[in-house]
Chains A and B, each alone.
Chain A
Amino acid sequence: MRINCPLCGARDSREFHYRGSAKLIDRPLPEQGRAAMFDYVYIRDNPAGVTRELWHHRNGCRAWLVVARDTTSHKILSVELAADRGRVRS
């Protein structure tokens, strides 16, 4: 797999560290309660198909990326900076 880092261009996936579902960006606030935190830590949609996930360009620019990827074919559909996603939210 090659991941098209918005800052560095297309790079081998070995330069990246995989973190998991992109839902991990949206950590619930304490007032949302235990159920929300349980869901955040342990529950995953785990789709067979397109999923959005976090990759860290560890051996590159060290940016966190949100990658849309098809888990049935490993095809990468889009890559964006996680920081941009965070700014949209806040």
Chain B
Amino acid sequence: MRYSAFKVIWNGLGGNRGWKPVWRNPQPRSRYDVIIIGGGGHGLATAYYLAKKYGVTNVAVLERGYLGGGNVGRNTTVVRANYMLDGNSQFYSHSLKLWETLAQELNYNVMLSQRGCLMLAHSDGQMDAMARRGNMIHMQGDDAELWEAATVRRHLPYLDFDNARFPIRGGLMQWRAGTARHDAVAWGFARGADRLGVDLIQNCAVTGFHIRNGRVLGVETTRGTIAADKVGMTVAGRSSEVGQMAGLRLPIESHVLQAFVTEGLKPLIDTVVSFGMGHFYISQSDKGGLVYGGDLDGYNSYAQRGNLPMVEHVAEAGMALMPMLGKARMLRSWGGIMDMTMDGSPIIDKTPIEGLYFNGGWCYGGFKAVPGSGDVFAHLIATGRSHEVAEKYRIDRFQTGDLIDEEGTGATPNLH
């Protein structure tokens, strides 16, 4: 069923009994052309673009739990393209452009709200760095405005400008950045892929790979053996675990990142703000909750939950930036497992095993990358060549020295 305003009204008049499930729940077949492991945002987007752009429709997405139950449902929904380094710059720019037409492309409201994203600067040095970053963003063809303190004050008067330790000197605004409805992105891609003939198979965990003479032949799952010519991994958070089944040794650590939401409040923060000193960022959801997050807990974890010291730290950072936050009651906190690579940038590449493709290492940046990642990964799987905006995301860049270290912190995954 194609969605439209007319359908909403028509079904509303009929007591909303006319809606149908938007994807099938098929039994896995014994063979597919392509298997995608992981039914999160990246996997579903990959399957969608494989079918839509490359006509590869004999595709299965294997999901251990339920569709969109991992990080695509656990993130803080920020979409932006304010990266600086060659490699990241063109990729996130590409992804943001796909975001802008995604609702029309999928005929599904992903609720993209281009409300802007402001990165604050707290020293003259940081202002210089912001100016440089802004110029680089212009060169990649995206928008950025360097704001002096007075401009920030006009837009966000409630920040603590004269904080003794971290006074606000200005910031870098990207207006085309913003937020989107995270679940809707997964559901939209799932519906789109299903309509094009992709089998979305839930409750189907991959337990091993069939590899012979350096070539992947299929996967072993909790629902039987499934053969495939090509297998793509999109299991960020669990890349090491799944990769190990295929004998891959990866430059990745899994860490826990917590996120928080307050009770619903009246409209208050009309953009995304990030604190340049405390690694704290915040936006307001359409329901009214203030959604915010900060640093990783710092130690390797697969637990999908963090500990209280980071809850306290993030709350402190929030209060330092925005003292009024102290009046809001925190409703929930949760954790997601981040695939932290050794340089803080993702990997989208072939592997040494023929027919096995890797997409992972998304660190903090997975959500905004969903459409771009799906598009370029589908390109890689269908054509065997990297998409031009993702050709720096090589799996061997750690050996060749072509790192993409946006934070400049070196091989310390917990600091990216």
Contacts and interface: CB of A to CB of B under 8 A. Distances in A.
Contact of B249 (A13, A14, A43): A43
B398 interface: yes
Nearest to B313: A14
Nearest to A51: B300
A12 to B, nearest CB: 8
A51 B299 CA distance: 11
Nearest to B238: A48
A58 to B, nearest CB: 12
Contacts of A69: 299
B250 A71 contact: no
B250 A44 contact: yes
Contact of B398 (A18, A20, A42, A47): A42
Interface in B228-266: 238, 240-241, 244, 249-254
Contacts of B254: 46, 48, 71
A44 B240 contact: yes
A74 B411 CA distance: 23
A41 B298 contact: no
Contact of A74 (B250, B303, B398, B414): B303
Contact of A1 (B249, B250, B307, B399): B307
Given A18-B299, A20-B414, A71-B301, A42 B342 contact: yes
A32 interface: no
Given A20-B414, A42-B342, A44-B251, A13 B303 contact: no
Residue among B250, B302, B303 having the largest count of chain A Cβ atoms under 10 Å? B302
B306 to A, nearest CB: 9
A53 B299 contact: yes
Given A13-B299, A44-B252, A44-B253, 19 more contacts: A12-B309, A18-B298, A18-B299, A20-B253, A20-B300, A20-B412, A21-B300, A39-B249, A42-B251, A45-B244, A45-B249, A46-B250, A47-B240, A47-B241, A48-B238, A53-B300, A71-B254, A71-B302, A72-B303
Interface of B: 238, 240-241, 244, 249-254, 298-303, 307, 309, 342, 398-399, 411-414
